[in-house]
Amino acid sequence: MRHRLKDVAERAGVSVKTVSNVVNGYQHVRPDTRARVERAIAELNYRPNLSARNLRKGRTGVIALAVPELDIPYFAELARHVVTAAAGLGWTVLIDQTGGGREQERKAATGIGDHLIDGLIFSPLALTAEDLAGLDGTPMVLLGERVDHGQADHVVIDNVAAAREITAHLISLGRRRIAAIGAQRTPEGASARLRLAGYAAALDDAGIGYDERLVASAQAWHRADGAAAMRDLLATGVRPDAVFCFNDTLALGALRTLHEAGLRVPADVAVAGFDDIEDGRFSIPTLTTIAPDKERIARLAVELLANRLDGDRQAPRGNSRPPTASPPARAPPPDGARRHEWVR
């Protein structure tokens, strides 16, 4: 039997309005009255009718998450955290894979259909700031670096500083011929450019010259691209003693090529990635990686969107960053791999 507000009100000995105030989080309810209502809710196992609530507010209770591709584990894991955060608000999440294409991203940005969603969390690759400035309607929170801040609330990490940190870690191990895998020169490659800048800055900090022969491009950031880029690097004859891959799937591909070449990791070539995907914790050896706090990124994006839907009219929060996560104390894994926890 599904209980109603009226049933809760009768059990608590209060009005239906008072129960509604408690359920909707209004502050001006006496503590003893709130306690009686909450006890009645628990006893009856009452669940609010979210559909009715959304209808009264003129909402669907549905938001969307649009990402370039779900084959990249980072986006799949981020999607899981967005769904969890949204569920805490009673929201359902539609997930759209844009492929990083301009037309599909435009469809996502214009609402994925009239009146279907209340808001959008969006990681664009092809759209520009000018594209987004010409859009109107659906509240939006941006992820990633492709679009400059100012168009909507924006959650990012500091890719330059994170890449600088992981490269400095490799240098601290005594490595000097450090390769980089994942460079991209296309307009969509904003993250690649920032990570390359951090890599170059760390080399400069250590007085190590930047060697173009040690920088390998990758049109996509999949395992096969990492494996191919690693083969190309080995073929140059300037064999690296370490490699920083711009995401973990590239690093997993590089590990495969190094194994096939008879090179030991990390003894001959140290390998580091970026994203802290679950697969990297089960590779042999365990992958050293930068660990963006995906749960906090998702939670902040959902909170910013909720604020907009509740009437927040402040200027967009450009480059909103969750605070730095302090690395928890943990024993280092036996293979010497490290997780560099990073959220700015």
Nearest one of 1, 35, 3, 2 to 18, comparing CA atoms: 35
Task: Please determine whether the domains at 5-48 and 159-293+337-342 fall in the same fold group of CATH.
Answer: no
Nearest one of 246, 194, 187 to 221, comparing CA atoms: 246
Tell me the helix, strand and coil percentages in the chain, rounded to 5.
40, 15, 45
Residue 343 in this model has a pLDDT that exceeds 50? no
Main-chain dihedrals φ then ψ at residue 198, nearest 5 degrees? -65, -40
Superfamily of domain 159-293+337-342: Response regulator (3.40.50.2300)
DSSP assignments along 228-253, one per residue: HHHHHHHHTS---SEEEESSHHHHHH
Percentage with pLDDT > 70 across the chain:
82
pLDDT in tens, 204-250: 999 999 999 999 999 899 999 999 999 999 998 889 999 999 999 99
Q: What is the largest CA-CA distance in the chain?
A: 82
Predicted pLDDT at 172: 96
Rg of the chain over all Cα atoms, to the nearest angstrom: 24
Residue 329 in this model has a pLDDT that exceeds 50? no
pLDDT in tens, 272-307: 999 999 999 999 999 999 999 999 999 999 999 998
Neighbours of 48 (CB within 10 A): 13
Predicted pLDDT at 50: 54
DSSP assignments along 250-312, one per residue: HHHHHHHHHHHTT--TTTT-EEEEES--GGGGTSSSPPEEEEE-HHHHHHHHHHHHHHHHTT-
- With b for 16 or more beta-carbon neighbours within 10 A and e for fewer, the 138-166 pattern comes to bbbbbbbbbbebebbbbbbbbbbebbbeb
The domain segmentation of the chain, as residue ranges, is 5-48, 58-157+294-309, 159-293+337-342
At 315, is the pLDDT very low, low, confident or very high (cuts 50, 70, 90)? low
Average the pLDDT over 145-173 and give the result: 87
pTM above 0.75, yes or no: yes
CATH class belonging to 5-48? mainly alpha
Predicted pLDDT at 205: 97
Q: How much is the mean pLDDT over the chain?
A: 84
Q: Best-predicted range by mean pLDDT among 146-150, 152-156, 276-280?
A: 276-280
Distance CA 35, CA 226 (A): 58
Compute CA distances 24 → 135, 204, 285, whole Å. 32, 55, 50
- For 58-157+294-309, CATH gives 3.40.50.2300
